[in-house]
Structure 1
Amino acid sequence: MKTMPIDQSQALMILASEPRPQFKDREGRQPAIDRGTGAHVHLVDVMFAFNGRAEVIAVKVPEPGLGKGLKVGLSVVFTGLVASAWENEINGKDRHGVSVRADAITVKAGA
């Protein structure tokens, strides 16, 4: 899977949700595991504003990368933020999208 780095230098990112565990199954019994670190994966929703437009995106972050003091409404910055295109066939239908992940998330200095 190809990944592309995301430039955050001109963007404003505000934490829109508390980090929450990601699960492999719909029932929430099997935690998602980061392939690189073996750690549990968490999802964080972030308002990503750039060029006068804003969207809320979900970012996957391994548990050790969750910074201290993360609170909804604070400005945040990511380390190793990348986007990856994916596609699957689910129930006979082709599905595709973009997954966003980071190595870490921290409160932006001075926020």
Structure 2
Amino acid sequence: MRQIPVDTSTAVAMVAQPPTPKIANRQTGEVATDRETGATMMVVDVMFVMDGNAEILSLAVPETGVPRDLTMGTPVALTGVIARPWERDGRHGIAFRAVAVTPITAAKAA
């Protein structure tokens, strides 16, 4: 499967929705886990602004890379973001994944 690295160095990102567990199977309610580590996968919606364009991205992130205190509006740094094109049953899209979502404090921003 193709993995496309995403350069987030010139982007501004902030939490649009607090993290929630990623559901692997909607019928059974099974929660997704990271295939390599077994960590629970979380979904973090972020407002991603680059070159004057803003979009809401849903990022899949291992629970170990998501602080518990992320709240809506928190500016964040995104680590290890990749995009994966997907296609299933005639539908297609791009899935985004990150290694970590880290709050940016006022001290870090200065």
Q: TM-score, normalised by structure 1?
A: 0.88
Tell me, which stretches of 5 or more residues in structure 2 are unaligned? none
Query: Is the Cα–Cα contact under 8 Å of residues 48 and 55 in structure 1 kept in the other structure?
Result: yes
In the TM superposition, residue 103 of structure 1 has moved relative to its aligned partner by: 1.0
Q: Which structure shows the bigger proportion of residues in strand conformation?
A: 2
* Correspondence 1:10-89 to 2 at 5 A: 10-27=10-27, 29-89=29-89
Which blocks of at least 5 consecutive residues in structure 1 are unaligned? none
For residue 14 of structure 1, report the CA deviation from its aligned partner: 0.8
Q: 1:104 and 1:28, CA in 2 relative to 1: closer, same or farther beyond 3 A?
A: farther
Q: Residue 64 of structure 2 aligns to a residue in which SS? A: helix
Which deviations, in whole Å up to 9, do the C-alpha atoms of 1:38-97 show, x marking residues without a partner?
A: 1111101000011111010100001111125322111101211110111112xxxx1111
Change (3 A) 1:30 1:68: closer
What is residue 98 of structure 2 aligned with on the other side? 102
Give the stretch that moved more between structures: 65-74 or 42-51.
65-74
Structure 1 counterpart of 2:98, one-letter code: A
* Structure 1: distance between partners of 2:41 and 2:64: 9
Partners of 1:34 and 1:103 lie apart in 2 by 11
Structure 1 residue runs of 4 or more that deviate by more than 4 Å after TM superposition: none
**Percent of aligned positions with the same letter in both sequences?**
40
